[in-house]
Amino acid sequence: MEKREIYTVQNGKVVRSRRFCPKCGPGVFLAEHEDRLTCGRCGYSETKRK
């Protein structure tokens, strides 16, 4: 994954398009899977609600 896929530009401002891991803190993004969000660093996982 490249950085240009994680950030987007809206109205001249840079905006994150993914969430940070609540355990690891800023700088570690959660990976988006079909049914869950996971952190590759600490193993934190959340299930997506439909």
Average pLDDT, the chain: 91
Q: For residue 30, give every residue at least 6 positions away whose Cβ sits within 8 Å of its Cβ, in sequence order, or none.
A: 18, 19, 20, 21, 37, 38, 39, 44, 46
The pair of structure tokens assigned to 20 is 């940070």
pLDDT at 1 over 70: no
Rounded distance between C-alpha atoms, residue 43 and residue 36, angstroms: 12
pLDDT category of residue 3 using cuts at 50, 70 and 90: confident
Q: Which residue has the higher pLDDT, 6 or 24?
A: 24
Q: Domain boundaries in the chain?
A: 3-47
DSSP state of 12: T
